[in-house]
Structure 1
């Protein structure tokens, strides 16, 4: 999966109609609704504001909106472009000004898909990794054991607290989570304690 690093826009005309695409990173429905309201206020006289988004790589949600266009001709081709680029935490809104000539279903699918594709070509996509966050607490004497686990399971440190014991929040690649859990269970007799927190991404 990939995250979008910057917003982009693209516009073109197709048989009289004007299509203006807006791609932007987004991390929640609320954030998307705010951005959509901004775009609608910028183009209040547009015929359609069609869109698609994919949010939360750890618990992926997707949504499309045709906004009056025939079903499956606007939101879906936009979403398909996001999916083909494996883009997450990203949204595309395509604004259309009707030019007086009907494009037909295939023409609309092509135009909305093209608008999304051109926006995606202009941005930079950065790979992300799905991880499980795990909290590990251990005595200072077990530092070497934890270092070995970090190396073996490709763990990265998200945060640390040094008090009577060391407490780390670690990111574990999703594919290593079960084996890590099994290994940590075998270390509990050495006063190494852990709890799995939540799925996330880095």
Structure 2
């Protein structure tokens, strides 16, 4: 599930009109509404503060507002970007400072969508997924083989402890556990022990595991 881990801002200029997109993660309609009100207060002198948000693991709730722009030229195109990108629990406000030149219906749609895309590009969007922590214990002879298998299956190692044996902690996405343990068992000749943790949600951020 794609979510915004850290919000950001993006700005474009079309025919001297400034479009400032502010993106923020939200967990409820109340949070989204409060964020929109905050942006309207911050940019009180702007002509328009158009908004869109999507809430829920299945994008169950979505809302958008043209905030005075011609119908369907701002809020809906902004929402379409969020839905197309399949991002959940996110709100975006695009603030427009009018530059004196009318953009027309098509021009407005393109400008608002481009602004949202710019805002998302300057945010940290992650793919949050279910998984379980797996602790693997083995001897030094099996370490290289296990590391090779982990790399082949794109499993990120969280920690490695070296004592008289080796203990690796990894995060395994749902559905990948059986093949991983079978391959490690085969690769080490049965010289590996496994301990599974509870199911969590996680994401890989800058090659590191973040557990939620």
TM-score (norm 1): 0.63
Change over 3 Å in CA distance of 1:129–1:103 after alignment to 2: same
Match of 2:198 among 157, 163, 170: 157
1:99 lines up with 2:99 in the alignment: yes
- Contact conserved, 1:58 with 1:130, CA < 8 A, in 2? no
Q: Distance in 2 between matches of 1:86 and 1:156?
A: 29
Moved more, 10-19 or 20-29: 10-19
Runs of 4+ in structure 1 deviating by more than 6 angstroms, as ranges, are: none
**Structure 2 partner of 1:127:** 127
Alignment of 1:144-183 (within 5 A): 157=198
**Structure 1 partner of 2:117:** 117
Change over 3 Å in CA distance of 1:70–1:129 after alignment to 2: same
Alignment of 1:184-195 (within 5 A): none
Q: Distance in 1 between matches of 2:62 and 2:40?
A: 21
Structure 2: unaligned runs, 5 residues or longer: 132-176, 179-195, 202-211
Q: The residue matched to 1:5 in structure 2 has which SS?
A: strand
Q: Distance in 1 between matches of 2:92 and 2:124?
A: 15
Instruction: Please report how far the alpha carbon of residue 59 of structure 1 lies from its aligned counterpart in structure 2 after TM superposition.
Output: 6.1
1:38 lines up with 2:47 in the alignment: no
TM-score (norm 2): 0.60
**Structure 2 partner of 1:85:** 85
Instruction: Please report how far the alpha carbon of residue 128 of structure 1 lies from its aligned counterpart in structure 2 after TM superposition.
Output: 3.1
Q: Distance in 2 between matches of 1:156 and 1:18?
A: 50
1:19 lines up with 2:60 in the alignment: no
Instruction: Please report how far the alpha carbon of residue 120 of structure 1 lies from its aligned counterpart in structure 2 after TM superposition.
Output: 1.0
Instruction: Please report how far the alpha carbon of residue 106 of structure 1 lies from its aligned counterpart in structure 2 after TM superposition.
Output: 0.4
Q: The residue matched to 1:57 in structure 2 has which SS?
A: coil
- Contact conserved, 2:4 with 2:87, CA < 8 A, in 1? yes
Change over 3 Å in CA distance of 1:33–1:4 after alignment to 2: same
- Contact conserved, 1:57 with 1:130, CA < 8 A, in 2? no
Q: The residue matched to 1:19 in structure 2 has which SS?
A: strand
Query: C-alpha root-mean-square deviation of aligned residues, in Å?
Result: 2.3
**Structure 2 partner of 1:60:** 60
- Contact conserved, 2:21 with 2:119, CA < 8 A, in 1? yes
Structure with more of its chain in helix, by fraction: 1
- Contact conserved, 2:5 with 2:25, CA < 8 A, in 1? yes
Q: Matched residue pairs, number?
A: 140
